[in-house]
Amino acid sequence: MPERVPSGTASPSGTVRRPDPPVKGTTDHSTARTLALVTTALVVAGCSAPDDKTPVDLIFTGGTIAIVDDEFTLAETLVVSDGRVVAVGDESLLDAYQATRTVDLDGRLVLPGFNDTHTHIRGRADRHIELGGITSLSEIDALVRAKVDQLGEGEWITGYGWSEDELAEGRRPLRDDLDAAAPLNPVILTRAGGHSAVANSLALQLAGVDESTPQPEGGVIETDADGRLNGVIRERQSIVSRLVPEATPDELRESHVTMLRNQLALGITSLIQAGETPEGFDRWEDIYEEFGSELPRATIQIRWAGPERLEEFGLTTGDGGHRLRVGAIKVLVDGGFTGPAAYTIEPYKGQAEYRGLLNLPEDELRSLVMSANALGWQLGFHAIGDAAIELTVQAFVEALSTYPRSDHRHYLNHFTVTPPEATLDLMAEHDIAIAQQPNFTWTLEGRYVDHLEGDRLAHNNPVGIPMKHGIFMALGSDILPIDPKIGLYAAVTRKGMSGEVYGPDERISIQEAIRGYTANGAWLTFEEEIKGTLEPGMLADLVVLSENILETDPERILQVDVDLTAVEGVILYERPNAR
C-alpha cells in the first residue's frame, strides 16, 4: 500500500480547498472514485490470472509517485490509459495491467505536471533577441552584433530579459554599450520584468528624446552624473519602442508555438497567460486549433477593456475547453520593483518621498472592479506594493458585498510587499487568493535590497505566513525566469541569489510548494476536479524528475532535470540521455 507522508508543518487547512460545486464541463469526481474501485477488483483478478492483464497505454513504476491528493500520498506505480490515470498504488498493479510502454523510474519522482499560474508567452519578431539567462555584458554585445549581421544596417533591434543581477559586470547595459555593438541600428533592450529598457543613441535620436525632453508622467528618463542620457527609460519606454515596426503575423505565430513547446521541457503542462486583449485571445485560439494536442494547456487572462468591449468579446471566465480557456480579468494596479514603481504604504528605502505609482485612479479601480464582478468575471489583478494590495482587496470586498458571488475565486497576481494584518484577514474572510511568484525572492533580490528594508525586505513575496492565515495560494514564475524548479527552491529555502535567507518563517515544505505549483493552480482555473493531482480518473498530465526532490537536500532542487513530460497521457517531451 502507498505510504503516507504528512504534508509538512506549513499545511493550514486554508491551502487545501476541495471541491466547491463542479463547474460545467468538468468530470464528476465520483467517476474517479468508481475507477479506483474497479482497479482494486482487477488487481485481485490479475493475481490469479496473469495472462488476462488489462491492456493500457503507459505504466510508470520503480520510483516514487507523488499523487498530491489531500494527504500527499506516495505510491510506487502509476497506470495511464486514454489520457487519464487509471490506477495508482504499489507494484502489485503490474500483475493487473500490461502497458504499451512501461517506464522504469529507477528511483525517480513522478509529479502532476507543473502549472505556471503567471506567465507571458508571446510570439517574437525576427528582430528580437532573447536575453533571459544571459550572464555578461559581453554576451549581450555579441548577440546584438550577430543581429546586426542578420538584419543589416538600419533595422530596429529589440530584446527582452536582461538583469544586472545576473550579469558578471554587476551593472546594467547602457547606451554607450549598445552604440559600440550597433552604431547604425536603433536598439532597445527591455529589462526582465518589463519595467525599464535601455536604448542606444540612434534609437533615442529617432524618438526625439534628448536631454531637454521633459520627464514623462509615470516614468523616468535617466541621466548620468554629467546630466547626459544614459539610455535607460523606466516605465515609459514606449516613448522609444513605439517606433519599432510591427512583426508579421507569420513570424509571430511560429515563434509563439515554439515558445509554447519549450514549456514542456520545463515540466509545465498548464499555464495561465497573465493578460491578453480579446484580439490576443483569438490568436491563441488559432494556434490551439492547429497544435492544441501538442502543447501545454493554457488559460488566458483577459485585460479589462470596458464592459462594452467584453460583451462584444462574447466569452467569459471558464469558457473554452481544457486545452484553452478564458481566465480572469487582468488589471495592472501598480508597477513593479524592477522599475521601480510598486505602490507602497511607506516610502522606499532611502527615499523620503517616493512610494511608487498607482496605474489608475482609485475611483476608476473601484468602479471597474464593481462592474467586472457584477458581470460574473473572475478577477486576477496585478498588485505588488502593499498599498496597491490593500486598495485592490478593499475594492474586491466592496464589490463582493454589493454583488455577492458564492465561488468567485478572485485573486491577486504577485503580492510582493506584505500588506497589513487587517488586509490578510479580509482576504481569508472573503476567499481572495494569491497567484504568487516565490522565485522573485531569488531573482529580484538585488532590487528588493535596493528599495526595501527591515520586515518589508525579510517578508518580500511572502508564502508561509499568508498560507498560515488561511489564504489560498498557487505558484508561478512571471517569466523571471520561467522554471518551476526555481520557484520550488525559493519557496522551500527563501534564499536570494546571493544565498541570503529572507524571512525563514515564510518557508514552506517541499510538499506544499509542489502542491502550490500543481493542484492549487488547477483550482485557480476551476479545474481541480479534472487535473492537478494523479488520483484515478484525473487527466494524466505529469512530469518525471531526475531525482526525488522530496528526499534530497533542498540545495539539489536547482540541479534536478525534467526527464519526461506528458499531457493527457501523451509523452510530449523526453530529455535526451535521460535514464
Instruction: Give the residues lining the site for Zn ion (CB under 5 A).
Output: 274, 478
Nearest to 447 by CA among 461, 435, 426, 427: 461
Distance CA 14, CA 278 (A): 34
Distance CA 495, CA 481 (A): 16
Please report how close the Cβ of residue 328 comes to Zn ion at its closest, in angstroms: 13
Determine the 3-state secondary structure of 388 from DSSP: helix
- Which residues in 63-93 are b (16+ Cβ under 10 Å) and which e? bbbbbbbeebbbbbbbbbbeebbbbbbeeeb
**478 or 541, CB closer to Zn ion?**
478
Distance CA 21, CA 36 (A): 22
**274 or 397, CB closer to Zn ion?**
274
Please compute Rg for the chain using Cα positions.
Answer: 24
Enumerate residues 6+ apart whose C-beta is below 8 A from 526.
23, 26, 317, 318, 378, 407, 409
Nearest to 140 by CA among 159, 121, 123, 124: 159
**79 or 474, CB closer to Zn ion?**
474
Please report how close the Cβ of residue 329 comes to Zn ion at its closest, in angstroms: 14
**156 or 448, CB closer to Zn ion?**
448
Please report how close the Cβ of residue 160 comes to Zn ion at its closest, in angstroms: 12
Nearest to 514 by CA among 220, 233, 110, 236: 110
**119 or 511, CB closer to Zn ion?**
119
Please report how close the Cβ of residue 119 comes to Zn ion at its closest, in angstroms: 8
All cell numbers assigned to 246: 510591427
Angle at 366 between CA 424 and CA 422, to 5 degrees: 15
Chain centroid, CA 318 distance in Å: 19
Please report how close the Cβ of residue 505 comes to Zn ion at its closest, in angstroms: 26
Distance CA 382, CA 416 (A): 10
365, amino acid identity:
L
**478 or 568, CB closer to Zn ion?**
478
All cell numbers assigned to 179: 552604440
Please report how close the Cβ of residue 437 comes to Zn ion at its closest, in angstroms: 8
218, amino acid identity:
G
Nearest to 468 by CA among 441, 411, 508: 508
Give yes or no for a contact between 491 and 475, defined as CB atoms under 8 angstroms apart.
yes
499, amino acid identity:
G
108 CB-contact burial (10 Å; exposed 0-12 / middle 13-18 / buried 19+): buried
DSSP bridge pairs for 199:
188
Enumerate residues 6+ apart whose C-beta is below 8 A from 15.
467, 470, 472, 473, 512, 515, 516, 520
**221 or 268, CB closer to Zn ion?**
268
Please report how close the Cβ of residue 524 comes to Zn ion at its closest, in angstroms: 15
245 CB-contact burial (10 Å; exposed 0-12 / middle 13-18 / buried 19+): exposed
Please report how close the Cβ of residue 330 comes to Zn ion at its closest, in angstroms: 9
Cβ neighbours around 49 below 10 Å, total: 11
Distance CA 455, CA 84 (A): 46
Please report how close the Cβ of residue 323 comes to Zn ion at its closest, in angstroms: 22
Please report how close the Cβ of residue 336 comes to Zn ion at its closest, in angstroms: 8
**72 or 381, CB closer to Zn ion?**
381
**381 or 396, CB closer to Zn ion?**
381
Torsion angle defined by CA atoms of residues 379, 385, 391 and 397, in that order, rounded to the nearest 10 degrees: 50
